[in-house]
Amino acid sequence: MSDQLTTCGYVALIGAPNAGKSTLLNALVGAKVAIVSPKVQTTRSRLTGIAVEEAAQIVFIDTPGIFQPKRKLEQAMVEDAWTGADDADFVALLVDSRRPVDANNDDTQRIIDGLKKNKRRAILVINKIDAVKRPALLALADKLNSETLEDGSPLFSDVFMISALTGDGVSDLGKAMAAAMPPGPWLFPEDQIATAPWRYLAAETTREKLFINLHQELPYQLTVETEEWEERKDGSVKIDQVVYVTRDNHKGIVLGKKGALIKKVGEASRRDLEDQMGRRVHLFLFVKVRENWLEDPERFREMGLQFPKG
């Protein structure tokens, strides 16, 4: 396609934790590029997914959930999300339709206030419509659609109601975003669906399985790094990963009785990676203690985050 015929732009997906941003990204791209779990704050740093809609290339930025941070990692995640919004041509705010928007104590309201402060219009995407009755959806849409910028203009340029999980409304949302892309050449090859290297995506896949299989605070105190990546002559790949935890007793929990839990995680991650990569994967997981990784700027850089100042 010539430059005159193509359009391309960036769309940042922002929202409170568990609003469904990663599920929506995967649905829009048509492949799994972001990890998903029922736990909040699964996404730790920006991840890019790329979709093509006729002559338009849309570069989606999946951002960490925006909430009131308490720890350095949480602060870095929120700052990363706002940076993703600032860098994008368009911003789409995802709202979980099941959660009331309360000005006194609500992450979504804080995001709306942040958009207003930055004088940034957005697309409103009300998600999980399959879980709420129509009158409640319409009431929520009316409430949010009444938000305005300082000059009195509407904060939201468009409103979409979708279910990222079932796919309801996702196609219409994608086509509308494609129509809004500014003229310009595509930034990535037509068949590319993500910008993150496979080493990172593989580590994230394993972290997803750990989030699903572990409980309470432990998943938030671990990280996964791909240490070795060996391409084999038969077309398969050997991957060595290390799961870092902050305490000795956490190591035992991650390993499980006689190594049962880490084996279960490894098998699930391997199967997922083989599906994603279309080839055989030999995955080896190791669990190590790194007591202060939550205070280590290098670990933040490994996750694609800036270590918070102060």
Burial 279-310 (b: 16+ CB within 10 A, else e): eebebebebeebeebbebeebbebbebeebee
Count of other CB atoms within 10 angstroms of residue 140 = 22
* Pairing mode, strands 56-62 and 47-53: antiparallel
Structure tokens given for 88: 């994008």
Structure tokens given for 178: 């494609």
90, 12 in Cβ contact below 8 A? yes
Alpha helices by DSSP H, listed for 102-247, are 107-117, 134-145, 170-180, 198-213
Q: What's the chain's length in residues?
A: 310
CA distances, 269 to each of 174, 239, 299 (Å): 29, 11, 22
CA distances, 293 to each of 79, 123, 183, 199, 201 (Å): 19, 37, 44, 20, 20
E strand intervals along the chain: 7-15, 47-53, 56-62, 90-96, 122-127, 156-161, 222-231, 237-245, 281-289
pLDDT tens across the length of the chain (310 residues) = 444 589 999 999 999 999 999 999 999 999 999 999 888 889 999 999 999 999 999 999 999 999 989 899 999 999 999 999 999 999 999 999 998 787 655 899 999 999 999 999 999 999 999 999 999 999 999 999 999 999 999 999 999 999 999 999 999 999 999 999 999 999 999 999 999 999 999 999 999 999 999 988 788 999 999 999 999 999 999 999 999 999 999 999 999 999 999 999 999 999 999 999 999 999 999 999 999 888 999 889 888 899 998 6
Closest CA to 198 of 223, 229, 222, 235: 229
Structural domains of the chain sorted by starting position, each given as residue range(s) with its CATH number in brackets? 7-180 (3.40.50.300), 198-302 (3.30.300.20)
Count of other CB atoms within 10 angstroms of residue 164 = 27
* Pairing mode, strands 122-127 and 90-96: parallel
* Pairing mode, strands 222-231 and 56-62: unpaired
Whole-model pTM: value is: 0.90
CA distance 100 to 103: 10
